[in-house]
Chains A and B, each alone.
Chain A
Amino acid sequence: MALDDLYREIILDHYRSPRNKGQLPPPAHKVEGFNPLCGDEVILTVLVEEDKVVDVNFDGQGCSISQASASMMTAAVKGKTTAEAREFITAFKGLMSIHKESLDGDDPEAGEAQLRDDEIAVEDTVNPEIKLGDLAALQGVVKYPVRIKCAVLSWNTLVQSLDELAAESA
């Protein structure tokens, strides 16, 4: 069944038992993200020390895709430098077939407009060294365009968080 493609076992596992769920106390940086489509929200608390993501937690309500994606994201970026985390975000968005240009644009939703079968190639912007691991299970989401927003909600929020932290320390 097509649904098994969307709801891979690893996704359901992260949904059932989310990793890094909760909120880190200050001085962790806190950002809220919203999915305007369904009203879901994610709260990210990120602790960056010496340009390294020392810890990251997510909180909030969402569907299995948004919760699993957030859970996997926290596990993946924890311990990475901010530059590595950004590369990883780009790789994940590549998996969701969202182009680099739309990542840099003002509109975090802009990616959806570009979701056509003929536009999946994003190799030019993605570092081929990056292994997405468990996150590759979210690939099935691409076939369900409205759910891509669910999958990228926490990632957009992380971008916002890293941007704000960079602006603060600049």
Chain B
Amino acid sequence: MGVSFDVAQIKKDFPLLDQVVHGDKRLVYLDSANTSQKPQAVIDAMSGYYETINANVHRGTYKIAQDATEAMEGARADVARLIGATASKQLVFTKNATEAINLVARSWGGANLQSGDPVVLTMMEHHANIVPWHMLAAERGIELRWIPVTADGQLDLTGIDRLLDGAKFLSFTAMSNVLGTLNPVERLTTLARDAGAMSLVDASQYVPHMPTNVIDMGADFVAFTGHKMLGPTGIGCLWAKEETLEAMPPFLGGGEMILNVTTEGFTTTEIPWKFEAGTPPIAEIVGLGAAARYLESIGMEAIRQHEVELTGYALRTLNERFGDDLTIHGPAEPATRGGVMSIQYKDIHPHDLTQIMDENGVCLRAGHHCAKPLLKSMGANATARASLYLYNDEADVDALGDALEASGDFFSF
């Protein structure tokens, strides 16, 4: 590990990690792809907000209302900076990534997609980037096309020209939440643009773990979610350029998003608030801002470096220890993947595996990971998934190995 990255020190920033479960088992949290833990800085920012400046935003003239508004808009600037946005107003706050994608499907899709218009997705999408498009398909008959996945968990781009031919939109994940695969974002957004299609990158698994520059990504939209990047639940983001957002009709209607309302109708306010109807989750926004600053203080390059090394350690040691009994899905080379590992051990069902893991204090998710089409193409109903983050270390990976061994002993028939 690099000298500047001190995982032992980082662990101390996360109070939840310092506990035992089931009597005497150290809690080993390996489910950050599901939701991440929160550093004290985020918890403090949120309680500090409630303790000192809680007031509704963009309305009051009194001091704490202005402080609250400034805290919210300061957080927007912090997150915008983390992802390389060139202006804060390119960032719309949503409830989560799911709502950000629904916003695009409803607003942009509603205004621009007609019956028969092709929308291209990939076979490794989270349901959040499938169902909104299915809903548009059911409603107005858009055509969904699917980029297939190869046996080693990469996008199969051999037929991409045909798939993009005539397409109006391409929506894809930057990193698979099941396989850890890092997709060729810039290449795909360039291909989409050349084909005359707009594009959305689901960066829910990417922004938390990788140095991100939304301009370099080349997409029209980038969606991500706060709770996977050390922030609280209930807050997510949609990034897009000003002219893109300005050309779109509003999503939800209500307070905050209007310029004027009469008995005849309404006019919308400026972006990004045009897309933020109603009182926003202010404390959550403040918490997300603190998360962005925390990530920045550690450094996304250093975090990525740590995860590449730790993923390499996990792939190497677990494969050595368990050989053919263990399958780790997805790309074999740590530099081409994130720290998300779907594993199959012996013939033990993921539910049974994670149950025994839990008994050993090790938190893993079992299930379809909201990516049923991908699981089906892998020939599985469910997998057990371990995912790493900045606060995980080699001891956590070793604990995973020990828990796997315990499961093997329990289910050795």
Contact = CB atoms under 8 A, between A and B. Distances in A.
Interface residues of B, number: 18
B410 A40 contact: no
Given A39-B367, A40-B351, 13 more contacts: A1-B359, A3-B359, A16-B413, A38-B350, A38-B367, A38-B368, A38-B381, A39-B382, A40-B381, A61-B349, A61-B381, A144-B355, A147-B355
A150 B372 CA distance: 18
B413 A63 contact: no
Interface of B: 22, 349-352, 355-356, 359, 366-368, 372, 375, 381-382, 410-411, 413
The 8 closest A-B pairs by CB, nearest first: A63-B351, A63-B349, A39-B368, A39-B381, A38-B367, A38-B382, A63-B352, A39-B382
For chain A, give the interface size range: 20 to 34
Given A3-B355, A3-B359, A147-B355, A39 B375 contact: yes
Nearest to B368: A39
A150 B356 CA distance: 16
Contacts of A63: 349-352
A12 B411 CA distance: 8
Contacts of A16: 413
A59 interface: no
B407 to A, nearest CB: 10
B105 to A, nearest CB: 22
Nearest to A36: B368
A3 B356 contact: yes
Contacts of B356: 3
A38 B410 contact: no
B382, B410, B413 — most chain A CB neighbours (10 Å): B382
A64 B351 CA distance: 8
Contacts of A65: 351-352
A62 interface: yes
A167 interface: no
8 contacts: A2-B22, A3-B355, A38-B368, A39-B367, A61-B381, A64-B352, A66-B351, A147-B351
Given A1-B359, A3-B355, A144-B355, A39 B372 contact: yes
Contacts of B382: 38-40
A37 B349 contact: no
Given A2-B359, A38-B381, A39-B382, A7 B410 contact: yes
A40 B381 CA distance: 6
B367 A150 contact: no
Interface in A87-138: none
Contacts of B349: 61-64
B355 to A, nearest CB: 7
A150 B354 CA distance: 14
Interface string A2-33: 11001100001000100000000000000000
B109 to A, nearest CB: 26
A74 B212 CA distance: 54
A106 to B, nearest CB: 21
B346 to A, nearest CB: 13
B359 A150 contact: no
A40 B372 CA distance: 11
Contacts of B22: 2
A105 to B, nearest CB: 24
A37 B367 contact: yes
Contacts of A150: 351
Contacts of A144: 355
Given A3-B410, A61-B381, A63-B350, A38 B366 contact: yes
Interface string A27-63: 0000000000111110000000000000000000111
A1 B355 CA distance: 13
Given A3-B410, A7-B410, A61-B381, A38 B355 contact: no
